[in-house]
C-alpha cells in the first residue's frame, strides 16, 4: 500500500496522549521536575501538570471514588510518557531532578508535530518493553502476552496497513492473531469444563497501545455499566496508517 507524502492533514494533537506527551516535555522546558526518593515524578509536579492533561479519565475516577492521588504509578499514561521520554533521550536525571536535554530541545524546536508523533510512537513500539505495562497473566514461551505481541508487531502492522481504513470484525481479527501466535494451548482454563479463554488483546494491544496513540477507532457494545464494554469492530485511522508505514519502511531507530 502506498502512502501519500503529504502529511499536512495529519494532526497528532487530536490524540490526547500526544498532547499530554508534548505538555510534559514543554513543562520541562520551563523548569526541572523533582524526583522522589524512588525516582518517580514528585506529587507537586504531577498536580501542576494534570489540570492541563487531556487524559482526565483516571483523574476523574479518583475524584469520583474520593481517592487521593499519591504517586506517578497511579497515572499509567504519565508513567508511560516519562519512560518513552527517557528512552528518546529528551530528558535526563541529575541531582534529584528530571531535566530537558539538548536532544529534547532539538526535538521541541526542530521537528514538526507529525515527526514528533512518529518518534514517540516508534520509541514505544521498538524501545520500550511492552511487558512493563502488561497485566502479566499467561507466560508463553518465556514471554507474557504483551511481549509476545511486541515480538510479532511487524506482522500486525503489515496486516493493518494492508486493510487501510476498512472496518474489521474484532472477534475475527483476534482469532486470526491468536491462531498466528499459536495461543490456543496457553489459553485453556485449568479447571472444568476446560473452556477456551480469550487472550486480553483489548488491554495489551488496543487500549494501552493502538487506541492510546490514535491509530485505531473502535465501535464498542456497552453492557449494564460504563465499565462493561466489548469491542465489536475497529478500523485504522490515517494517523495509524502513517505510523505503520513509518514503522515498517522508514524505521531508523
Which pLDDT tens digit goes with each residue over 103-134?
A: 999 999 999 999 999 999 999 999 999 988 87
Distance of CA 85 to the CA centre of its chain: 13
Range 60-76 average pLDDT: 69
| Cα distance between residue 137 and residue 129, in whole Å | 16
Beta strands in 67-179 (DSSP E): 91-94, 97-100, 139-140, 143-144, 168-169
| Residue 181 confidence class, pLDDT cut points 50, 70, 90 | confident
CA quadruple 117, 84, 204, 73: dihedral positive or negative? negative
Whole-prediction pTM: 0.87
Are 85 and 24 a contacting pair, CB within 8 Å?
yes
The per-residue pLDDT of the chain, averaged, comes to 86
| Cα distance between residue 21 and residue 84, in whole Å | 9
> What does the pLDDT look like over 91-101, one tens digit per residue?
999 999 999 99
Amino acid at each position: 500500500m502506498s502512502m501519500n507524502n503529504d502529511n499536512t492533514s495529519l494532526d497528532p494533537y487530536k490524540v490526547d496522549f500526544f498532547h499530554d506527551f508534548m505538555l510534559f516535555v514543554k513543562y520541562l522546558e520551563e523548569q526541572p521536575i523533582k524526583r522522589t526518593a524512588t525516582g518517580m515524578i514528585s506529587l507537586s509536579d504531577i498536580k501542576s501538570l494534570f489540570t492541563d492533561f487531556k487524559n482526565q479519565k483516571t483523574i476523574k475516577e479518583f475524584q469520583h471514588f474520593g481517592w487521593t492521588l499519591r504517586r506517578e504509578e497511579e497515572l499509567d499514561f504519565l508513567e508511560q510518557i516519562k519512560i518513552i521520554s527517557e528512552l528518546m533521550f529528551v530528558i535526563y536525571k541529575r541531582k534529584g531532578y528530571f531535566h530537558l536535554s539538548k536532544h529534547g530541545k532539538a526535538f521541541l524546536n526542530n521537528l514538526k508535530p507529525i515527526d514528533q508523533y512518529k518518534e514517540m510512537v516508534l520509541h514505544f513500539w521498538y524501545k520500550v518493553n511492552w511487558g512493563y505495562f502488561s497485566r502479566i497473566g499467561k507466560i508463553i514461551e518465556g514471554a507474557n502476552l504483551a511481549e509476545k505481541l511486541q515480538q510479532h508487531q511487524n506482522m500486525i502492522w503489515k496486516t493493518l496497513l494492508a486493510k487501510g481504513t476498512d472496518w474489521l470484525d474484532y472477534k475475527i481479527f483476534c482469532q486470526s492473531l491468536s491462531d498466528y501466535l499459536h495461543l490456543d494451548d496457553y489459553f485453556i482454563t485449568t479447571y472444568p469444563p476446560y473452556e477456551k479463554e480469550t487472550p486480553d488483546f483489548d488491554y495489551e494491544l488496543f487500549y494501552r497501545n493502538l487506541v492510546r496513540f490514535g491509530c485505531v477507532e473502535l465501535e464498542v457494545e456497552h453492557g449494564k455499566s460504563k465499565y462493561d464494554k466489548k469491542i465489536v469492530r475497529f478500523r485504522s485511522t490515517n494517523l495509524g496508517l502513517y505510523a505503520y508505514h513509518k514503522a515498517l519502511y522508514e524505521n531508523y531507530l
